[in-house]
Amino acid sequence: MKNKNKKLTTASGRPYYENEDSLTAGPRGPVLLQDYYLHEKLAHFNRERIPERIVHAKGTGAYGKFTVTQDITKYTKAKLFSKVGNECRVFVRFSTVGGEKGSADSERDPRGFAVKFYTEDGNWDLVGNNTPVFFIKDPKKFPDFIHTQKRDPRTNLKNPTMMWDYWSLNPESLHQVMILFSDRGTPYSYRHMNGYGSHTFSLINAKNERIWVKFHFKTRQGIKNFTGPEADEMKAKDLDWAQRDLVQAIDNKDFPKWTLKIQVMTDDQAKVFKWNPFDITKVWPHAEYPLMEVGVMELNEIPANYFADVEQSAFAPAHVVNGIGFSYDKMLQGRLLAYPDAHRYRLGVNYEQLPVNRSPFGVHNYQRDGYMRGDGNGGDNPNYWPNRFDDIEADKSYKEPSFKMDSNMADSYDRNENDDDHYSQPGNLFRKVMTDRERQNTVNNFVSSMKGIEGPKRMEIIHSQLSHFYKVDKELASSIAKGLGIEFKP
């Protein structure tokens, strides 16, 4: 039964008598300028869309809870992890990366996996992907890279020539490209994939000791992927499959769960690790840095309103809490700026006051004013510090240990110097981790995409990319060349 005890009103609350027939001079019009309700209705409709995210535009989200299952207090003093059994509410947004808001969920693409933990010490955002690595390791490259994943400036079409031109000139992308073109590039649903914090972060314990950490969410639903042809079929059948799957599962009380695990590395280990442990194109091998269980996350509530909570959700790797810190990872450092900046542009400077983004445990500072300030703006409390009137204190016990630097020489260091092994980790993935079937599917996926390379530079791009593949694995390169019907001489 509909609740009929609410009166229709204008936005300013005036009860209004008519929602369909405009005010007109005579039954056939014209429409009168004084029908304010009509203007307001049309004008608000015109402004319904906010800028879509440049990346991760198509997404879905759910609330849930995180429960701590193992004691990691020797590594972190984060309040959330202070006791086994601690629980906190979470909001998770899954997404594809390159497509627009209306694009298909089953596209070959990394998937965003962003988790907001509403902890007593503030909101902690772990803003990762379903892959443990990334295409580039310096944030200065990000806009160029993303342009290649978006639409061609002339044809407005996705353009494999742009993609492979860029990737073949940036072999640091190989590891992520290998994962992207394996069947993990087309997950069956958001429930059936892992999530990774991807960057190296730090954990800080009660003695103020810092240890490096990587975060992994392992799906408890099991990994399940589409093959390339299956993903294409789903794109044609149901553009919104992953959204539908998540909503249906949660509505049916089949709540998806992930186990949160960590890998840790001491500073001494970091110094002798054979790769740069702060390079986001590399993983830490499990055999050397074993996964340790930390907790379990369950998603159990689809937000009542998609726009309010999913579209307006704003995650930022900069949002860490006491006991969790950053690292030297250059991509992480770049994201510390870029994410809050994107939210200020898209949602406004007060984006953290929106209910989905707001810390439920209180926010106290001297930031005031700005567009859409909706929280009372600090009322009549002082808007400066120090002052003699309020009781807000900067608590020095929250200070992090200082960050050691290897060098204080400012320069644009070549990101590949001493760190140009782009090949062994993707090689391990291809040879040691993938099954025969996965290897074959990966080759087929590469061939199908690289067939789209066109134009006068076609052979140059293909040969350059095949030379990189050759360094990953000889058989990989020769199988792709065979699939493309070309002769490849390394």
Stretch that binds ligand NDP, among 65-73, 107-115, 281-289, 466-474 (CB under 6 A): 281-289
Q: Which of residues 179 and 476 has its CB atom nearest to ligand NDP in the complex?
A: 179
Using rule CB under 6 A, residue 191 touches ligand NDP = no
Q: Report DSSP state, residue 74.
A: T
* φ, ψ (nearest 5 deg) of residue 67: -125, 130
Contacts of 490 (CB under 8 A, 6+ apart): 466, 467, 470, 474, 477
Considering the complex, what minimum distance in angstroms separates the CB of residue 58 from ligand NDP? 22
User: x/- site string to ligand NDP, residues 435 to 454, per CB under 6 A?
Assistant: ---x----------------
Q: What are the DSSP calls for 141-184, one per residue?
A: GHHHHHHHHSB-TTT-SB-HHHHHHHHHH-GGGHHHHHHHTSGG
Q: Residue count at the site for ligand NDP (CB under 6 A)?
A: 18
Considering the complex, what minimum distance in angstroms separates the CB of residue 164 from ligand NDP? 20
Among residues 85, 38, 32, 92, the alpha carbon closest in space to that of 62 is found at 92
Using rule CB under 6 A, residue 431 touches ligand NDP = no
Which residues are tagged catalytic? Answer: 56, 129
Could you give the angle at which helices 160-169 and 142-149 cross, rounded to 10 degrees? 150
Q: Which of 205, 227, 383, 428 binds ligand NDP (CB under 6 A)?
A: 428
Q: Report DSSP state, residue 310.
A: I
Using rule CB under 6 A, residue 194 touches ligand NDP = yes
CA distance 131 to 158: 22
Among residues 222, 205, 221, 203, the alpha carbon closest in space to that of 213 is found at 203
Considering the complex, what minimum distance in angstroms separates the CB of residue 121 from ligand NDP? 27
User: x/- site string to ligand NDP, residues 139 to 178, per CB under 6 A?
Assistant: ----------------------------------------
User: Which amino acid appears at position 40 of this protein?
Assistant: E
Q: What are the DSSP calls for 396-459, one per residue?
A: GGGPPPPPP-S--------TTTT----SHHHHHIIIIIS-HHHHHHHHHHHHHHHTT--STTHH
Considering the complex, what minimum distance in angstroms separates the CB of residue 425 from ligand NDP? 4
Q: Which of 110, 128, 132, 340 binds ligand NDP (CB under 6 A)?
A: 132
Q: Which of 179, 204, 246, 321 binds ligand NDP (CB under 6 A)?
A: 179
Considering the complex, what minimum distance in angstroms separates the CB of residue 215 from ligand NDP? 10
Residues that bind ligand NDP (CB under 6 A): 132, 179, 182, 184, 194, 218, 223, 283-287, 425, 428-429, 433-434, 438
